Structure 1
Amino acid sequence: MFQRYRTAFGTTLGLIFLCATPVLANHVDTANATVTCNAYSFSVDASALSPGTKYEISYTIETSPYAGPAITGVIPFTASSTTTFEATVWGSFPALIGSYNFYGTASLVGHNTVPILFSPTSLSCGAPPPPPNSGKGIDTVSFNGTPIVSGDYVWFNANFSVKNIPKTGGVITFTNSRILDVETNSLFTSAAPNAQITFSPTATCSSTTFSTMTNTWITTVPLKGDDEIFLTGVAIPVPSHGVPGGINVTWSGTFNTTGAPGMSIEWKWGAAVYTSIATDSNALEVKAGHQSACGESNGDHAATPEGVNNRNQKWKNFVIGGATGGGGTNSTGSWSGTDTVTPTAVVEPGPGPKG
C-alpha cells in the first residue's frame, strides 16, 4: 500500500515538474528591427542578467531573395545592478532594388536566441535597373616598318562616333580592354584604361579627365556628338628588346550602353611613338573631341596630347615615326579600319527545367 502511494506520489510530482514553466536566467527577451531600402535600426533587450558579468548580443539580418552578404553585428556590454539591458544600433547598406522580405535572429551569446521582428516585414525598393546592352569591339592594324627602340613610348589611343543618341542623353562604357601583339600572342597591356562617356544635354563642349582610382577616362560630350570622340588611351614604355616594325596588333574591349538601347558605335584606333611623354595621364591634357573639345580650336584629332612638360614644351612635339604614325604632325598615328558595334540587350539565363 505504501509502495503504491509512493509510486503514485512520485509520478504526480514528476508531472508537476514537467508541466512547470522554467524560469530562464540570462536571456534575450525581444529583438526588433526597422528597415528601409538602404538602412536599418535594431533594438534588443535582455533580462535576468548577473550584475558585473560581461555579455555579448549578436545579431544577423538577411533578405529573401538574396541581395548580398548578411548584415551581422555584436553588442558587448556589462550587466548593471538592474539585471536588464536595452540597446539600439543603426546601420546602412547598399541600396536595394526590387522586392524583399527580411528575416534574422538575435542571440545572447552562450544563452538563448530569438527571431527578430521586422517592421515592415517586406519592402519594394525602386524600379529594376534597365537591362544592359553590350557588344564586343575588336580591331586589328599593322604597324609600319619602322622598328621602335627601347626608351621610347607608344601612345595607344582610340576614338569613336555614335548614332542614335537619345534626346535625354546616355552613357557608353568601354571595359575589358586588351592590346595584343598577334604574332607573339603577347600583351602590350591587359589593363588598358576603361572609358565612360556621358552624352549630356547641358554640355556645350567635350572634356575628359582620368581617374587613377578606377583606371578610367571619364569624358563628357554634347548631345550632338562629334566625328571623333576620345575613347581611351595609354602610353606604354617600349621594353628593353624594342618592338619590331610590321607587326599586327589587335585592340579589343566591351562596349556597354546600359539604359540607352539602339546606339550604334563606330570606333577606330591608332598608335604613335613618342621619345618623351607624360606618365601622369591628366598631364597629357588629351583632346576630347575633334571639333568640340573645350578650349581647343585647332584641327588636331581627338586623343592628341595637348599638354606641355615642365619646360613648357608640347608633348606632341616629341612624336616620331613608328607604330601606325609617320611623326611630324601625326600625333595619334594613322587610324585603323572602323569597327562598328551595336550593343544589344543581354538576356540573363533563367532557371533550368526542374526534373
Structure 2
Amino acid sequence: MFQRFRTAFGTTLGLILLCATPVLANHVDTANVTVTCNAFSFSVAASELSPGTKYQISYTIETSPYSGAPITGTIPLTASSTTTFEATVWGSFPALIGTYNFTGTASLVGHNTVPILFSPTSISCGAPPPPPNSGKGIDTASFNGNRLLPGDSVWFNANFTVKNIPSTGGVITFTNSRIVDVETGALFTSSAPNAQITFSPTATCSSTTFSTMTNTWITTVPLKGDDEIFLTGVAIPVPSGGIPAGINVTWSGTFNTTGAPGMSIDWKWGAAVYSSIATDSNLLEVKAGHHTACRESNGDHAATPEGVNNRNQPWKGFVISGATGGGDANWTGSWSGTETVTPTAVTDPGPGPKG
C-alpha cells in the first residue's frame, strides 16, 4: 500500500513540476507593414525564444490585383537573454499605379506563422513622378598672387543662368558639392552647402534663405530667370597655416532637375576674401539675383553679401584682395570660366521589388 502511495505521489509530483516548468514556445507575436506607392516598412516582434539559439524570420507581401512577384525577405537573429526580439526593416518596389490591397504572412521559420497587418489596407496611387535629370558640374579657377592669412575668410560663391525653363516652372538642385585644391587634393570644406532653386510662375523677384537643418540654400526665382542667379556659397576661415598664392581650385557638384528635361545650365564661381564676415549664413543677406533680387535694386552681382554686422557695418566693407578677387568693389571675386551642364534622365538600374 505504501509503495503504491509512493509511486502515485511521485507521479503526481512529477506532473506538477512539469506543469510548473515554463515552456519556450518560440513564436512570432505580431507583424505589421506600412506601405506607400513604392516603399514599405516591416516591423515584427517575437517572444519566448531560447537564449543563444539562432532563428530566422521570413515574410511575404503580395498585392491584389497582381502587380508582379511577391516581396519576400528574411531577418536572421540570435535570441538574447530577454527571450524577445523586435526589428523593423525597409524596402522599395517599382511604383504602383492604381488601387491595391495587400496581404502577407510572417513566420518564425520552423515554428509559427502569423498574418501581417497592413496600414493602410488599401492604397490608390497615381502616375509616378518623372525621373530626375542629373548632370555633373566641374569648374576650375586659379587664385591670384596674394597669400591668404589666418583670421581672414574666403567667400566661395557660385551663380548660374538657365535655358528652357518650362512655362509651369521647375526646380534645380545642386548637391555633392566639393571645393578642392587641385595640387594637394585637400578639401576646403567637407560640408559645402547644397542648393535648391525653384522657378515659380508667381514669383516677381528673387530671394534666398539658408536652411541650417538641411545645409541648403533655398532660392526662389521668377520664370524669366536672370543673367546671374545665386547657386550656393560658403564662407571658409583661412586655416592657421594660411593658403598659398596662385593655387588652382576645382568646385564640383551634381545638378538635378525633375520633370523638366532639356534645361541647360551655365554656371561659374568666384572666391572673395573678407577680413570679417558672418558665420551665420542668413546674416549675410546674400543677393539672390543680379537684376531680380527682392531687396536690392543696386548693380551688385548675384551672391554679394548685402548684410551688416552688429555695428551696422556692411560686410562689403571688409573685402580685401585675395583668392579670385581684387578687393575694393569685387565682393564676389572674379568669375571662373563658365561650365555648361545639361542634366540627362536618370533611369532605374533594375526592375522588380526589393526586399
Q: CA, structure 1 residues 272+64, in 2 after alignment: closer, same or farther (shift >3 Å)?
A: closer
- The equivalent of 1:208 in structure 2 is 208
The answer to whether the Cα contact below 8 Å between 1:272 and 1:333 also exists between their aligned partners in 2 is yes
Identical amino acids, percent of aligned pairs: 79
1:60–1:105 CA contact under 8 A, matched in 2: no
Larger radius of gyration: 1
Q: How far, CA to CA, are the matches of 2:292 and 2:348 in structure 1? A: 38
How far is 1:349 from its partner? 2.6
Aligned position for 2:235 = 235
User: For residues 344 and 106 of structure 1, what CA distance do their matches in structure 2 show?
Assistant: 41
Cα distance in 2 for residues equivalent to 1:264 and 1:312: 40
Q: Given the superposition, is the C-alpha separation of residues 166 and 327 from structure 1 closer, same or farther in structure 2, using an over 3 Å criterion?
A: same
> Taking structure 1 as reference, are residues 112 and 343 closer, same or farther at Cα in structure 2, changes over 3 Å only?
closer
Q: Partners of 2:221 and 2:330 in 1: how far apart?
A: 24
Q: Matched residue of 1:257: which SS?
A: strand
Which residue in 2 is equivalent to 1:68? 40
In the TM superposition, what is the alpha-carbon distance from 1:126 to its structure 2 partner?
1.8
Contact kept in structure 2, 1:194 and 1:216, CA below 8 Å: yes
Instruction: Rate the CA distance shift 1:210–1:112 in 2: closer, same or farther, 3 A.
Output: same
Superposition deviation, residue 341 in structure 1: 0.3
State the shift of 1:116 in Å.
4.6
Which residue identity is paired with 1:334? S
Deviations 1:36-76 (A, max 9, x none): xxxxxxxxxxxxxxxxxxxx9523337699723314479xx
Q: What's 1:195 paired with?
A: 195
Match of 2:164 in 1: 164
Equivalent residue for 2:132? 132
1:59 and 2:41 matched: no
Q: For the Cα contact (< 8 Å) 1:180–1:186, is it kept in 2?
A: yes
Give CA-to-partner distance per residue, 1:121-159, whole Å, 9 cap, x none: 764412112011000000000000100001100000000
TM-score by length of 2: 0.72
The answer (yes or no) to whether the contact 1:149–1:238 under 8 Å persists in 2 is yes
Q: Shift of the alpha carbon at 1:189?
A: 1.2
Please give the root-mean-square deviation of Cα atoms over the aligned residues, in Å. 3.1
SS of equivalent to 1:176: strand
Q: Deviations over 1:210-232 (max 9, x none)?
A: 00000000000000000000000
Residue 351 of structure 1: CA displacement?
Answer: 5.5
Partner of 1:317: 317
Q: Residue in 1 aligned with 2:96?
A: 98
CA contact 2:268–2:337 (8 Å) conserved in 1: yes
5+ residue gaps, structure 1: 1-55, 75-92
Count of aligned residue pairs for this structure pair = 279
Deviation string 1:246-296 (CA, Å, 9 cap, x unpaired) is 000000000001111111000000000000000000000000000000010
Q: Please give the alpha-carbon distance, in whole angstroms, between the structure 2 residues aligned to 1:284 and 1:292.
A: 18
1:103 Cα deviation from its structure 2 partner: 2.8
Which segments of structure 1 move beyond 3 Å, counting only runs of 4 or more? 62-66, 71-74, 93-97, 104-107, 111-114, 116-124
Q: CA deviation at 1:106?
A: 7.8
TM-score using structure 1 length: 0.72
Partners in 2 of 1:321 and 1:191 — Cα distance? 25
| Structure-2 separation of matches of 1:95 and 1:349 | 13
What are structure 2's unaligned runs of at least 5 residues?
Answer: 1-27, 47-89
